[in-house]
Every structure is written in structure tokens, then in C-alpha cells.
Amino acid sequence: MRPHPLEPAARTVLRLEKVTRQYAQADQPLVILKEADFAMNAGETVALVAPSGAGKSTLLHVAGLLERAEEGDVFLRGEPCGGLSDARRTAMRRSDIGFVYQFHHLLPEFTAAENIMMPQMIAGLKQPQAQERAEQLLDYMRIGHRGHHRPAELSGGEQQRVAIARAVANAPSILLADEPTGNLDPETAGYVFEALEALVRQSGLAALIATHNHEIANRMDRRVTLQDGRVVDY
């Protein structure tokens, strides 16, 4: 696999500074994040553990530039993102951020390898190079022999490993994962997280992972939660 462009490993790749995010309601705004501060470094795994409805997905969406904060700012590799145009934010999501969700969202008509090739080709990589990278990632996730299979022909754990490989295909700076093992049995969840963790360590990728699985959370470098709209150590 090609080396990750970030170095050294201690570099801060994501920082939220006094971020407030709220949603309109009939009577008064629903405040989800309130002056939230958070930072993480390259090569670091952080577990986001909080009850349903506490704002985990909102935090991931703001950090991943899918939603804009009403106040505060998000810094990606030191660049403030709050005032960027939608086009620039989209470009940053494509090149610097990888997303993994509870449901794999693989394209059913394409093979595992083709699903991983797709974001690379959208980013401008030629098909032979994209295919080579896809095969490398599948091998690294220990499912190289399943590259020609479509999602419906894969197990749940295999589907999610393909989704992780797709998320990191363009060598992003950060991986944001929302309950990536939530639909898997404990044993399979352990295998998937082990592969994800190895990928983070090898590449220098930073990973923020929302999870209800305390066993997996305990294996990460640190744990945080949401309390009264703020990010605090857990």
C-alpha cells in the first residue's frame, strides 16, 4: 500500500473550536452541540461513546463538513472550513475525509473491487491504477479473494470491510465512522475493527468512531462522549 502523505504522526488533523450546532423547532431551537471543542492527531483512534440522541451523528456530520455549524469552526489539517464554499467543502470531503456508516451503502450492481475503484476514478485516477489500489486494499482487509463478488454475495463482515476500504481509497487524512460494526455479531465486529485498526496504524490515518460497543471502544487510544453539547473525556 502507498504511504499516507501525513507526517509526523503527532500532527493535528481535525480540530473543532467552540462549535455550536442547532436545529429549528416550533417553539425554540434544539441545541445539539454547544461550544464544543475537540482535536485529534494523525494515527490516533478515538471512540465516541454516547446514548442515542445525544448528537454523535451530528458531531460526525459537522466534523466531516456535511453540515455547517452556526458558531465556531472546524479545522481540517489546519485550514478553517466554516467559510468555505460548498464546492470547496465537497472537494475536501472527497480528498481528505472518509466515511463509514452502520449500513455499508455499497453499490449493488458493482463488484467489491469496483466499489472501491469508483471514488478513485471520480477523483481522476485512471482505471488501472484504481484497480491496483482496490486490490491492495482488499488484500489488506483480508478479503482479496472476494474482489469479483457483488455485495449481495458477501457476508455482513465482508461488506463492511469493503466499505472501509472504499472510504480510505483516496488516502484521506481522517476516517469518520458511525457505528461501523453495529449490524455485526460480536465476533465479526471484532474482526472488522481489527482490520480497521491495523489500517489506521499503517497509514497514519486518524479515526473517529462512534460506537455502542464498549469492548471495541476500550481498544482505542482514547474515548470521548457528549455531555450538555460538549465533547468530554469518557
The enclosing domain of 45 has a CATH number of 3.40.50.300
- Radius of gyration in angstroms for the set of CA atoms belonging to the chain, rounded to a whole number: 17
Give the whole-number percent of the chain exceeding pLDDT 90: 60
Whether the upstream peptide bond of residue 3 has omega within 30° of 0, thus cis, is no
In a domain, 7, yes or no: no
Fill in the amino acid letter for 56: K
Cell 474482526 belongs to 191
2 within some domain: no
Closest CA to 232 of 1, 41, 50, 9: 50
Q: Does residue 8 form part of some domain?
A: no
Q: What is the pLDDT of residue 1?
A: 39
**Residue 77 resides in a domain:** yes
What pLDDT is recorded for position 7? Answer: 40
Residue 22 in domain: yes
Phi first, then psi, for residue 98 (nearest 5°) are -115, 140
Q: Is the pLDDT of residue 3 over 50?
A: no
Long-range contact set of residues 80-88: C-beta below 8 Å, sequence gap at least 24: none
Q: Which domain holds residue 150?
A: 13-233
Report yes or no on 3 lying in a domain: no
Q: Is residue 5 part of a domain?
A: no
For residue 94, pLDDT beyond 90: no
- 19/228 Cα distance (integer angstroms): 13
Q: Residue 225: what pLDDT?
A: 96
Domain total of the chain: 1
According to the model, what pLDDT value does residue 10 have?
54
User: Cβ distance 79 to 91 under 8 Å?
Assistant: no
What would the pLDDT profile of 70-79 be if each residue is shown by its tens digit? 999 999 999 9
